[in-house]
Structure 1
Amino acid sequence: MTQITNSKLAYLGIRIAFGISMIFHGGIRFPKLDSFATGMSGQFSETFLAGFPALSFAYLIPFVEVAVGLSLLIGWKVICWGAFTGCLLMGGIMLGTCVLEKWELLPSQLIHLFLFYTILNNPNTPDAQLKPAS
Structure 2
Amino acid sequence: MNTKITYLIIRLGVGASMFGHGLVRLPKLHAFSEWMLKSFEKAMLPEMMVLPFSYVLPIAEFAFGIFLILGFLTRISAIAASVLMILLIFGTTLIENWGALTPQFLHLGFFAYLIQHIDKNRFSIDYSLKK
Tell me which interval the TM-score lies in, with the shorter structure as reference length. 0.7 to 0.9
Q: Does the Cα contact within 8 Å between 1:87 and 1:116 map onto a contact in 2?
A: yes
Q: Does the Cα contact within 8 Å between 2:4 and 2:121 map onto a contact in 1?
A: no
1:131 is aligned to none
Q: Which runs of 5+ in 2 are unaligned?
A: 123-131
1:22 maps to which of 18, 21, 28: 18
Question: The residue matched to 1:29 in structure 2 has which SS?
Answer: helix
Give the CA deviation at 1:125. 4.5
TM score, norm. by length of structure 2: 0.85
Looking at structure 2, the residues matched to 47 and 11 of structure 1 have their Cα atoms a distance apart, in angstroms, of 38
Give the CA deviation at 1:47. 2.5
List 4+ stretches of structure 1 deviating above 2 A: none
Q: Which runs of 5+ in 1 are unaligned?
A: 127-134
1:119 maps to which of 99, 114, 119: 114
| Pairwise CA RMSD | 1.5
Q: Does the Cα contact within 8 Å between 2:14 and 2:107 map onto a contact in 1?
A: no
2:55 maps to which of 56, 59, 72: 59
Decide which structure has the larger Cα Rg and report it.
1
Identity %: 33
The structure whose residues are more often helix, as a share, is: 2
Looking at structure 2, the residues matched to 10 and 111 of structure 1 have their Cα atoms a distance apart, in angstroms, of 16
Q: Does the Cα contact within 8 Å between 2:78 and 2:115 map onto a contact in 1?
A: yes
Give the CA deviation at 1:38. 1.0
1:100 is aligned to 95
Q: Is 1:12 aligned with 2:21?
A: no
Deviates further, 12-21 or 60-69: 12-21
Q: Does the Cα contact within 8 Å between 1:41 and 1:50 map onto a contact in 2?
A: no
Deviates further, 59-68 or 48-57: 48-57
Higher relative contact order (CA 8 A, sep 6+): 2
Q: Does the Cα contact within 8 Å between 1:80 and 1:125 map onto a contact in 2?
A: no
1:36 maps to which of 32, 39, 43: 32
Size of the aligned set, in residue pairs, is 121
